[in-house]
Amino acid sequence: MKKQGILNSHISKVLANLGHTDTIVIGDCGLPIPDGVKRIDISLKIGTPGFIETLEAVLADMSVEKVTIASEIQEYNPETLTGIQKHFSKEQISQLTHEAFKQETAKAKAVIRTGEATPYANIILHAGVIF
């Protein structure tokens, strides 16, 4: 049995297979997932697991050089934005409209669907390198 890190075998496999600049998405329970993109659904019920909880677990196992979020989060979900900003510098965070964000998710290796039910609680993580 795995001793530490992410126990979810699907998430663990995706992270192990990432290369520099590959992307994954962590999304709320309403984010549409494009056909052809691996869906890892970890939602249990509304709110569980939460977006920030999931983000923190993934960040413990993944080297991230930058992130992309929807600009609408500033107005409609400042609490989640604050949670994101605790983990990344201003220079690491880029913003797109929500429509453009959804188009970018089609390039992701996987989308992790959480139980989060707050608006615009979605993020694209761009893989960094550990050397």
> For 11-109, where are the E strands, in sequence order?
23-27, 38-41, 64-70, 93-96
Q: Where is the binding site for substrate, in residues?
A: 28, 98, 120-122
Instruction: State yes or no: is 20 an active-site residue.
Output: yes
Q: Where is the binding site, in residues?
A: 28, 98, 120-122
| Cis peptide leading into residue 32 (ω within 30°) | no
Residue listed under structure tokens 């201003």: 90
Exactly one of 10, 20, 87, 126 is catalytic; name it.
Answer: 20
Active site residues: 20
